Structure 1
Amino acid sequence: MYEELGIKDNFDLSQTIAAKLFEGVKYPWEVLHNIGDFIRSFGEQLDKEEYEKRGEDIWVAKSAKVAPTAFIGGPAIIGKDAEIRHCAFIRGSAIVGEGAVVGNSTELKNVVLFNKVQVPHYNYVGDSVLGYKAHMGAGSITSNVKSDKTLVTIGYQGGKIATGLKKMGAMLGDNVEVGCNSVLNPGTVIGKGAHVYPLSMVRGFVPAGCIYKKQGEIVKID
């Protein structure tokens, strides 16, 4: 049921150091409450030849580039060859994949970024999972709490899927492209390879291989 929203159809688990976090889980949002504990446990198992511990529950690959002005709060894992740029703010419970880019004034909180993800300019990504090579344009954000503070649901085929979560941002499948200054509302799920136009306000589900132009206008990529 709801397979097109699931992990199997949207994420290549060979492209994340956190593959074990997703074991036995069908939908990506189900891992959100386990990210912090997973990091604390898994971090201790990381190869000390490749990773160094920097503060409490913070592991950073020796090949990663971390700007001196960046802030990394634990628990966190920064993968090999990742780039954490000037004034990035990683609040904790964050896994940054290999070769990923976290840019100027970008804020992360309770997230999994698969390998090669780019959140390079003025992004907020909270309570979210971003698949392999997903890219968020400048100023695009994930909104992770509803204005009325009720539990997040996912709009799908005219109905609503309960998540049981008060905080859930967006689930972006592999190779998703989000245009500049877009807002992904709580409970947004975007299938792999989909594109979102700049200045969009996205809610609910965008199928894989589609372009989100505006509400009510989603078309297949030629």
Structure 2
Amino acid sequence: MGTGRWKLRNGPFVPLFIGRLEGGSLVRQGGGVKGLGSSPSDYFDYQGQGHEELFSASKDVWEILPAIAGYLKKHLPKGSKGKILGNPVIGENVFLGEGTIVEPGAYIRGPAWIGRNCEIRHGAYLRENVIAGDHCVLGNSSEFKNCLLLEGAHAPHFNYVGDSVLGRDVNLGAGVILSNYRLDGQVIRVTRAGTLVETGLRKFGAIIGDGASVGCNAVLNPGSLVAPKAKILPGTIWVGGGRKKAG
């Protein structure tokens, strides 16, 4: 994958910067990124996000994933300040921040910690261990499980977000799937500093850096690492984990 140009009708050519695939990681072009590491700071500006402990305690960014459950058990606030519309199903151990709206037909199993001014839309299914920062959208017919969404992340239409971290202002187009389990059930591997390493995880979807966008109906397979501000074109199937791109 590389850079391309789209021509607008009756208008100029507009450069489209997408990522290049390098050893199982999507590396942003046009920004001087020569390689992609495994530290949380390679993907996220997490200071001031309210959940810094998850990042600072993790040497490799995927170590955040198995830590989410314990973090919620230790820090989940009591009570709720959000607005509930109609009769959504909301389980125990769910905190909704001020200004957050839960629409009819949503199901929040919990534990879940939802920040301020979020939208939990009709048909959203939040399973166990979900954290969303402020101004996030968890949308219609989308499923979330053991995941962290930083401020302004949107997964608004027909998405699956399992065992994944979405950075600040990440947007998933309609139908984007972050697959989290290999067909053969083996431990998921990623490339770190040019070397294929095992993460120790059998459930690991994607790490998507701040400001990245994923086009409609793209599928990111287990162990996908996406650089900040990368753009993945609609319909892309990315194998991840240091293996070759499908197709």
Coarse TM-score class (shorter-chain normalised)? 0.7 to 0.9
Counterpart CA distance in 1 for 2:196 and 2:95 is 38
Q: Which of 116, 119, 129 is the equivalent residue of 1:83?
A: 119
> Residues of 1 paired with 2:159 and 2:80: CA distance?
32
Which of 164, 178, 191 is the matching residue for 1:128?
Answer: 164
Aligned partner (choices 172, 176, 192) of residue 228 of structure 2 = 192
> Mind listing any 5+ residue stretches in structure 1 that lack a counterpart?
207-213, 217-222
Normalising by structure 1, report the TM-score. 0.84
CA spacing shift, 1:49–1:105, aligned 2, 3 Å: closer
Q: Name the amino acid aligned to 2:121.
A: R
Residue equivalent to 1:168? 204
- Residue equivalent to 2:57: 24
Q: Deviations over 1:146-202 (max 9, x none)?
A: 000000001467642210101100000000100110100100000111110110011
Tell me, in whole angstroms, the C-alpha distance in 1 between the residues paired with 2:200 and 2:105. Answer: 37
Aligned amino acid, residue 203 of structure 1: V
Which of 63, 66, 70 does residue 37 from structure 1 map onto? 70
Amino acid in structure 1 at the alignment position of 2:69:
G
C-alpha contact (below 8 Å) 2:170/2:213 kept by paired residues: yes
Deviation at 1:15, TM superposition (A): 5.2
- Aligned pairs for 1:138-157 (under 5 A) are 138-155=174-191
Aligned letter for 2:123?
C
Code of the residue aligned with 1:185 in structure 2: it is: N
Distance 1:185 1:15, change over 3 A: farther
Greater relative contact order (Cα 8 A, min sep 6): structure 1 or 2?
2
> Secondary structure at the residue paired with 1:164?
coil
Task: Give 1 or 2: higher strand fraction.
Answer: 1
Amino-acid identity (%): 38
Map Cα deviations across residues 35-62 of structure 1 (whole Å, 9 max, x no partner). Answer: 1121122113x7x68579x642111113
TM-score, reference length from structure 2: 0.76
Work out which of the residue numbers 62, 80, 83 in structure 1 matches 2:98: 62
SS of corresponding position for 2:71? helix
Q: 4+ residue stretches of structure 1 with deviation over 6 A? A: none
User: Which residue of 99, 102, 108 corresponds with 2:135?
Assistant: 99
Distance in 2 (CA, whole Å) between partners of 1:159 and 1:37 is 30
Is 1:10 the counterpart of 2:63? The answer is no
Distance in 1 (alpha carbons) for counterparts of 2:56 and 2:167: 16
Give the Cα–Cα distance (whole angstroms) in 1 for the partners of residues 214 and 206 of structure 2. 11
- How many angstroms apart in 1 are the aligned matches of 2:50 and 2:146? 15
Q: Paired residues, what number?
A: 205
1-structure distance, mates of 2:168, 2:45 = 7
